[in-house]
Amino acid sequence: MTNTTRTAVCVPAAGRGERLGPGSPKALRDLGGTPILVHSVRAMSRARGVDLVVVAAPADQVDQVRALLAGTVEDAAVTVVSGGDTRQESVARSLLALPADVDIVLVHDAARPLVPVEVIERVIHAVRGGHRAVVPVVAVVDTVKQVDAEGVVVATHDRVQLRAVQTPQGFDRETLQQAHATAEVDDVSDDAGLVERLGIDVWTVPGHEEGFKITRPLDLVLAEAILSRRRARGDIT
């Protein structure tokens, strides 16, 4: 890694998000009067050290997303590419759009619009410090049981050793490219999982409870409440 690093964020945003209910793609749904995707891109751009955000949009809505993001982000450049049928394909296409001088790549779920800036910067700092793969995590608060195909419990896991993984996940560019180039599955939800298959250590940093993923209608209700609280405090406009 060079002494002067440049950091890009890949944001796969081509998924339909069917668990959130019928309508437009999840990333384009409204959150407090602004599309979820715009909140996510703004969060990435506010972090110190982020130079570029690459959004992988639905293939039939690239122009719409490009127009949506035009003029909404001031702190980093934004590029929009056509996403793929799977998350992995969207990330791979985003990687192809990166300039040659980008050393660090973050991958962020578009559906995590409220991740605090300090989490993003924590991930960047850890990769700059020499870790090839870094993920933000939070403690698991529920008891986790493993069940078989019939729904019968076969194991209860010690949650003290378990962590829920969030995004952005950070990587040195070469490691992430290698992980995607050697992937044997078409659809993955976790880029760090691909890196693990290479035998490379994945390090953790503290995440944040507000970095949750909007997946179901109830998640959207919670996100609206958090956004309203931030606006009331004057944290955002």
**What pLDDT, in 10s, does the model give residues 4-60?**
689 999 999 987 766 666 667 788 999 999 999 999 999 999 999 999 999 999 999
Gap between the Cα atoms of 187 and 88, Å rounded: 6
CATH number at residue 112: 3.90.550.10
Q: Is residue 186 part of a domain?
A: yes
Q: Is residue 158 part of a domain?
A: no
Gap between the Cα atoms of 211 and 67, Å rounded: 26
DSSP-H helix ranges across 56-138 = 62-69, 87-96, 117-128
| pLDDT of amino acid 67 | 93
Q: Is residue 142 part of a domain?
A: no
Q: Is residue 23 part of a domain?
A: yes
Q: Is residue 147 part of a domain?
A: no
Q: Is 60 exceeded by the pLDDT of residue 202?
A: yes
pLDDT tens digits, one per residue of 65-117: 999 998 887 767 999 999 998 889 999 999 999 999 999 999 999 999 999 99
Beta-carbon contacts of 77 under 8 Å, excluding residues fewer than 6 positions away, are 51, 52, 53
Tell which residue, 80, 103, 109, 119, has the closest CA to residue 192: 109
Q: Which domain holds residue 189?
A: 7-135+166-233
pLDDT tens digits, one per residue of 140-170: 999 999 999 999 999 999 999 999 999 999 9
Gap between the Cα atoms of 106 and 33, Å rounded: 27
State pTM to two decimals.
0.93
Q: Is residue 161 part of a domain?
A: no
Gap between the Cα atoms of 154 and 214, Å rounded: 30
Q: Is residue 1 part of a domain?
A: no
| pLDDT of amino acid 19 | 64
Beta-carbon contacts of 223 under 8 Å, excluding residues fewer than 6 positions away, are 31, 113, 114, 212, 214
Q: Is residue 113 part of a domain?
A: yes
Using DSSP's 3-state secondary structure scheme, residue 63 falls into helix
Domain count, the chain: 1
